[in-house]
Amino acid sequence: MAVQEKTASTTALMKMFLLAALYLAVLCQASSAWSAEAVHADRLMYQVTVDGGIEATKQNLISALEGKNYTIINVLNVQEGLKGRGIEAHPIQLVEFCNLSKAYQVTRTANEFEIFAPCRMALFEAGGKTTIKVLRPRHIRDSLPQDKLSPAGTAALDTFEQDIREVLETVASGGF
Domain ranges of the chain: 1-39, 42-172
CATH class in words for 42-172: alpha beta
The model's pTM is 0.76
pLDDT of residue 155: 95
For residue 72, give every residue at least 6 positions away whose Cβ sits within 8 Å of its Cβ, in sequence order, or none.
62, 65, 66, 95, 96, 97
d(CA 31, CA 118): 32
Predicted confidence (pLDDT) per residue in 75-126, tens digit = 999 999 999 999 999 999 999 999 999 999 999 999 999 999 999 999 999 9
What's the angle, vertex CA 149, arms to CA 145 and CA 155, rounded to 5? 135
Question: Does residue 97 contact residue 91 with C-beta atoms inside 8 Å?
Answer: no
For residue 4, give every residue at least 6 positions away whose Cβ sits within 8 Å of its Cβ, in sequence order, or none.
none
Q: What tens-digit pLDDT sequence spans the chain (176 residues)?
A: 555 665 555 555 444 433 333 333 333 333 333 334 689 999 999 999 999 999 999 999 999 999 999 999 999 999 999 999 999 999 999 999 999 999 999 999 999 999 999 999 999 999 999 999 999 999 999 999 999 999 999 999 999 999 999 999 999 998 76
d(CA 154, CA 113): 11
d(CA 89, CA 34): 31
The arrangement of strands across the sheet holding 129-135 comes to 39-41, 45-51, 129-135, 119-126, 92-98, 71-77
Question: Does residue 133 contact residue 39 with C-beta atoms inside 8 Å?
Answer: no
Question: Does residue 57 contact residue 171 with C-beta atoms inside 8 Å?
Answer: yes
